[in-house]
Amino acid sequence: MLKLTARQQQVFDLVVQAIERSGFPPTRAEIAAALGFSSANAAEEHLRALARKGVIVLSPGASRGIRVVHATDDSRRDGEGVDGSGAGGAGLPSQAAFAGMLSRAGSLSLPLIGRVAAGSPILAQEHVLHQYHCDPALFTSQPDYLLQVRGLSMRDAGILDGDLLAVQRQNEARDGQVVVARLGDEVTVKRLKRVPEGLALLAENPDYPTIVVDRERSDFALEGIAVGLIRPTPL
């Protein structure tokens, strides 16, 4: 691995800290604002330099499509080149890593949840489509289940239709974390923000509106927080 410049190290540290704090990497605009760059393009240049040095992988077309490369990544152990194929948000493995993790001994077994029936627990047996065996190192914290994503409301966070979102069950979350929330008959994936009215569920796609949840709303429940992502792209 090539040595990083002082500025590149700042950018890299910021990406790692954002992933540890919220579960997902920052946007180019957020990096620029935090480090005083004149534009998001300056942040992009530093990210591309980090990608060339092999410490991150960039996913084209996603504003948060940055994955930190660890020394234990399958692709690095196997001597394969990193081209970003199959990569997206934080915790997303390469296609080769995804194929290998399903059969790895001692892996974590997680239920894959499909559509959730109104009023029933998200982990009810009738919602479980499949059991996946995953490497725990893929996730920022240990998840309890995988949720099959539907739609593109979180596209700019690198979360796409058909992705498997790793979720840790809990009923509290910090501002900025990606959460799974129940609203009446629907279960949705959004970024959480506290507002004077209560809670705002923010989409990461300008085509989708923000959902504001009133403090008195009785049919709202926080189901968990996102701790990683798998994109099961066929090899």
In contact, 180 and 223? CB cutoff 8 Å: yes
H-state helical runs in 134-223: none
How far, in Å, CA of 190 to CA of 205, rounded? 10
Q: Select which of 141, 190, 193, 218 is catalytic.
A: 190
CA distances from 150 to 53, 154, 160 (A): 34, 10, 8
H-state helical runs in 23-140: 28-35, 40-52, 74-77, 95-101
How far, in Å, CA of 170 to CA of 222, rounded? 7
94 is an active site residue: no
22 is an active site residue: no
Residue with tokens 């399958």: 74
Phi, psi for 112 (deg, rounded to 5): -95, 120
Q: Select which of 59, 63, 75, 153 is catalytic.
A: 153
Give residue 115's region: left, alpha or beta (phi > 0; psi -120 to 50): beta
Catalytic residue positions? 153, 190
